[in-house]
A and B are shown apart, each in its own frame.
Chain A
Amino acid sequence: MNTLPVLSIVALTPLAAAILIGAFGRGTQLPRVLALVAATICLAGSAWVWATYDRAAGGVQFVESVRWIPSLGISYIVGVDGISVPMLALMALVMFTGVLVSWNVDERPRLFFALLLLLVTGVFGVFVSVDAFLLFFFYEMAVVPMYLLIAIWGSTHKDYAAMKLTLFLFAGSALITIALALVYWQVGASTFDLRIWAGANFPPGFQRWVFLLMFVGFGTLVPIWPLHTWSPDGHVAAPTAVSMMHAGVLLKIGAYGVLRLGMTLFPEGLRDWALLIAIIGAINVVYGALCAMNQTDLKYVIGYSSVSHMGYVLLGFAMIDKFGLQGAVFQMFAHGIMTALFFALIGYVYEKSHTRQIADISGLMSRTPLVAAAFVIASAASMGLPSTSGFVAELLVYVGIIGRSPLLAAIAFVGVVVTAAYLIRMLGKILLGEPSQAVERIVDPSPVRLAPMGILAITIMTVGIFPATMYQTINAGIEPLLTKLMGG
C-alpha cells in the first residue's frame, strides 16, 4: 500500500492554503496564486486516487485513521470507495476551474479565495470521510463560507438568497444531527465509523424514521421538491465560481449523504419510502423543467434545470436496482461537470455584457465561437444527448426506471422533451442571429478563462465517449450497497 496520506492532502491542502491566504495574502496576486497551487495539488491528488484506486478489489481504500476524540469514539478516518472517487474527481475539477474562473476577482481577493478554499475543504472532507461525525463536521464547515461568498460577491438579491440558502442548509443539518445521535446510540458501539455502522442491523421501525430524517435532511441540499426554493435563488445570486461549486458539487453532497448515511445504513427504510422518493424525483424532473422553461434569466434557467436533473438522481435511488443506482451516481458526476461548465460560461457572458437576460443576448456564435461551442456541449450533456456524459447517466437511470415502472419512465421522458425544448430555445436565441448590443464587446476569452471551459467540455465528452472507467469505478462502489439492498 502507498504510505502517502493522499486523501488528507487533498482534503486539508485547501484549508492550509486558506489559512495562509488569510494570514499573508496581501495584494491580488498572492491569493490567487496560492489558490491555484492548492487546486493543482488537489487535482493531482485526486487524479492519483482515480488512477490507482483498485476497481477490481472495490471497497474502501486509501484509508487513514487517527484517533481524534476517543472518549466519544470519534476518529479521523478518511478513505474512498467507488462512489466517492468520482465525486473527488468532480470536486477537484470544479475547484481547479473555479479558481481559474475567479482569476480576475478584484474585490477583496484575499477574503474571496480564503473563503473559497474553506468551502472546498468542507466539500472534499465530506467525500472522503468514513466517520459519520467527520462527514457531518465537514458538511457544516462548507455552509458559512458559502454564505459570505454569496453575500459579498453575489449579484441579484444576494442578501436574501444567501440567508435563505444558509438557513435551509442549516435546517437540513438540524435533522441530520438528530439522526446521527439516534444512530449512534442505536449502534451502541461508541463509534461513528461508517463501516461499523453499515454492518449493524437496525430494527425496521427505526430504519423507517431515521431514514426519513436523513433523506429530508440531506434532501434539502439535493434539493428535493418542495424544499428546493433556496437553490435557484442561490445559484443566481452567487458569484461564478461559487455557482459552479454550488450547483456542481454542493448539490451532490446532498445526494451523497442520502446514499451514504441513508441508503447504505437503512436499506429497509429506503424500501419503505422508495415510492415517495420516486414521486418526489419525478416531480423534481418535470416541475424543474417546466420552471426552467419560464425563466428569462440564464442563471435561473440553469438553476431550475439543476432541480430537474437532480430528480433523475432521486429516481435512480428509488429504483433500488443496479442500473438505477449506477445511473444516479453517474448523473451526480455528469451533472456536476455540465452545470459547472454552464455557470462558467454564463459567468463569462455576464462579466462582459452585464446582462443575463436571454432577451438581451443573441449572436454569441459570431462573436465568440468557442464559448458558443462550449454552450452547445453543455446543453447536449444537459439534454442527455449521446457522446456526452449526461447520456450515459440518463441511459442508466432509464434502464433502471423502465424495468420498474413504465409510467415513471414516461413522466421522465416528458421531462427530457421539456428540457430539450427550453435548452434548444435558449441556445437558438443566444447563440444565433445578429449580435445584440449587449454582446458587442464579447470576444473569445483569454487563455485563463478559456482553460476552465475547455477542461470541463473535454471532460464531458471524454466521459461520454469512454465511460468504461467511470462505470467500473462506480460499480465497484455500489456493489456492496446493492448486495445489501437486494439481500436484506
Chain B
Amino acid sequence: MAMGTVLAWTILLPLVGGVAIALIPQSGSKFARPVALLVTGVVLAMATWLWISFNPADPGMQFEIVRDWVPGLGTAFHLGVDGLSLPMLFLTAFLSLLAVIASARISEFTREYFTLILLLEAGLIGVFIALDLILFYVFWEVVLIPMFFLINIWGGPRRRYAAIKFFLYTLAGSLAMLGGIISLFLATGAQTFDMIALAPQAARLSLAAQTAIFTAIAFALAIKVPMVPLHTWLPDAHVEAPTAVSVLLAGVLLKMGSYGFLRFGPQLLPDGFERLVPLIALLGVVSIVYGAACALVQTDLKKLIAYSSVSHMGYVMLGIAAGTAAGVLGASVQMFSHGLIAGMAFLLVGAYYERAHTREISAFGGTARVAPILAGTLVFMSFASLGLPGMSGFIGEFMVVTGSFGPFTTYSAIAAFAVVLTAGYLLWMLRRVVFGQLNEARADMPDMTRTEAAAIFPLCIATLCIGVFPQVLVGVMEASVESVAKILGA
C-alpha cells in the first residue's frame, strides 16, 4: 500500500468508524466505545507506521496524495506530511485514543458521543495533513460541529453559553480566514488552492497584499491559539467541556492555530508574516504573563489549567515569532509537549472532579494521603508543566527562550521569568490540593482506577521519553524547521 493511501485513511477511518457507530442500533450502545477504541487504535498504529517510514532528512512533503475535487476552482484533495505536521498527526491519534479510553463513564447518548469524537479526530487530522487551502479550511470547520455538540450535550451546567460562545468566536475567525484564503487565491491569480503550488507566487505578492491577507488569516489562527485578547472563549469552553473533550481541546485543538501560523506565515506569506512578527511576539509574551497571572488567582481547578494553556501557548507563539531555527524548533516541540501535558492535566482534573463533584480548589486538600497515586501523578504533571528538566516541557520552553533571545531580548527575558509565575501557580495549587490538611469531605476518596491509569500513564511515559530522548521528536522536525528558518532568515 502506498503511504499516501495510509495517510488518507487516517482521515477516512475515523469518518467511517464514526458513521458506523452512529448506525449501531440503540440496543447495541455498549459496543460504541469498543468500536471507537478499535478505530482510534488503528489510526494510532497507522500514525506510528507513518512516523517510522518518514524520511527525517527530507524537509519537503512526503506521502503526498492528490485527487480531483473541484477542478475548475483549482482545489484538490491533496494530503501530505512534513516534519511539522507529522508530530501533530501522531499527537492527535495518540490523544484521541486516550480520550476514548477516558470516556468510559459516558452513559448518555453513548453512540452519539463516540461518533462525534471520531469525527473530531478526522477533522483534526485533516487540518494537519491537508495541503490544499480549501481542504485545510474544510477540516478547520469540520472540527467546529462535533466540538460544539460535545460541549453542548455532555458539558457542565453552563454548557450552552460556552458552546455558543466557542462556536461564534471560532466561526467569526474562520470567515476571516476564508476571506484571506480567497483573497490569496485571487491575488496570485494562480488558479489553484494548492499550498505547494501557490507558495512561490504568494511569496512574490506585494508587501501590502501579503500583510492584508495574512492579517485576516492570522486573526482566525489567533483565536484558536488563543492569543490574548482573543482568548476569552477558552476558559468557558474548557470548564464546561467533559474531560475527554477538554483533553482534545487543549491538547490538539489549540495547536491548529499555532500550526497554521507555521504553515501560512513562513511558507506562504513570508513578508506579511514578517510584518506582523512584532505584534505576534508581543501578544505571545502578553499571553504568557497574563495567562499565568490569571491562573494564579483561579479558585477553580479546571480554569487554572485552562489559563495555564493560554500561558503555555504564548511560548509557542513567541518561538514562532522569533523565526530562528531554535525558536521554531522550540515552538514545535512545545506544541507537542503541551499536547501531552495539557492532556494529562485535564484527565487528572477530571478524575478529581468525578470524585468530589466539584472543581473548587478549596474543596480538596491533603489528597496525597488518601489517593497517593492520583496525587503523585498530579505532582508529576505540574513539574512537567513548569518545565522541569528531563521532561518534555523543559525542552520546548528552553529552546523557545534561547531561540528568541536574539531577536527579542526583552521578551525572551520576560518569558524566562514568567516560569517563576508558572511555578508559583502550580506549586500553590499542589499545596492546596495534594498536600496540607486533609479535607474531611475527601476522606474516603478512592485512588486512581485502572481506566484512568490507562489513559494517564501513557502520557507520563511519553513526557519522560521526550524529555530524556528529545532526538526522537526533534529528529523528525529538524529538516523542516531548518527550511522554515531559512526562509525567515533570508
Contacts and interface: CB of A to CB of B under 8 A. Distances in A.
Tell me, yes or no, whether A and B come into direct contact in the complex with CB atoms closer than 8 A. Answer: yes
A13 interface: no
Contacts of B301: none
Nearest to A322: B72
Given A380-B145, A399-B182, A424-B164, A323 B73 contact: yes
B142 interface: yes
Given A365-B153, A385-B144, A468-B68, A420 B168 contact: yes
Given A366-B109, A402-B182, A421 B175 contact: no
Contacts of A369: 109, 111-112
A124 to B, nearest CB: 28
Contact of A413 (B72, B141, B144, B179): B179
A420 B179 contact: no
A97 to B, nearest CB: 21
A486 B242 CA distance: 55
Interface in B225-245: none
Main secondary structure of the interface of A (DSSP, over half): helix
Contacts of A432: 152-153, 160
Contacts, number: 94
A166 interface: no
B73 A386 contact: no
A424 B182 contact: no
Contacts of A409: 179
Interface string A414-430: 00110011001100100
A413 B141 CA distance: 15
A409 B182 CA distance: 11
A139 interface: no
Contacts of B109: 365-366, 369
A350 interface: no
B134 interface: yes
Contacts of B145: 376, 380, 385
Given A421-B168, A425-B164, A428-B163, A403 B141 contact: no
Contacts of A402: 179, 182-183, 186
Contacts of A396: 73
Contacts of A472: 71-72
A468 B76 CA distance: 10
A417 B141 contact: no
B134 A395 contact: yes
Contact of A428 (B72, B139, B160): B160
B164 A399 contact: no
Contact of B139 (A365, A373, A386): A386
A403 B186 contact: yes
Interface in B181-195: 182-183, 185-186
A475 interface: yes
Interface string B101-134: 0000000110110000000000000000000001
Contact of A420 (B68, B111, B112, B171): B171
B167 interface: yes
A387 B112 contact: no
Interface string B50-83: 0000000000000000001111110000000000
A273 to B, nearest CB: 24
Contacts of B6: none
A149 to B, nearest CB: 35
B137 interface: yes
A391 interface: yes
Contact of B168 (A373, A386, A424): A424
Contacts of B69: 466-468
A403 B73 CA distance: 14
A96 interface: no
B290 interface: no
Contact of B175 (A326, A391, A399, A417): A417
Contacts of B164: 421, 424-425, 428
Nearest to B22: A373
A259 interface: no
A399 B109 CA distance: 39
Contacts of A468: 68-71
B148 A424 contact: yes
Contacts of B153: 365, 432
A398 interface: yes
A468 B179 CA distance: 22
Contacts of A391: 138, 141
A475 B72 CA distance: 8
A196 B138 CA distance: 43
Contacts of B179: 398, 402, 406, 409-410, 413
Contact of B138 (A386, A406, A416, A425): A386
A366 B154 CA distance: 13
Point out which of A365, A385, A424, A467 has the most chain B C-beta atoms below 10 A from its C-beta. Answer: A424
A399 B73 contact: yes
Nearest to B161: A428
Nearest to B111: A369
B419 interface: no
A392 interface: yes
B423 to A, nearest CB: 40
Contacts of B197: none
Contacts of B178: 395, 398
Contacts of B176: 413
A227 B168 CA distance: 31
Contacts of B108: 366
A133 interface: no
Interface of A: 322-323, 326, 365-366, 369, 373, 376, 380, 383, 385-387, 391-392, 395-396, 398-399, 402-403, 406, 409-410, 413, 416-417, 420-421, 424-425, 428, 432, 466-468, 471-472, 475
14 contacts: A322-B72, A323-B73, A365-B112, A369-B111, A373-B22, A398-B182, A402-B179, A402-B182, A409-B179, A420-B167, A428-B152, A466-B69, A467-B69, A468-B69
Given A369-B112, A386-B137, A386-B141, 12 more contacts: A365-B109, A373-B22, A386-B139, A398-B179, A399-B186, A402-B179, A413-B175, A421-B164, A428-B163, A428-B164, A471-B70, A472-B72
Q: Give the 7 A-B residue pairs with the shortest CB-CB distance, closest first.
A: A386-B138, A386-B141, A403-B186, A413-B175, A402-B182, A399-B182, A420-B171
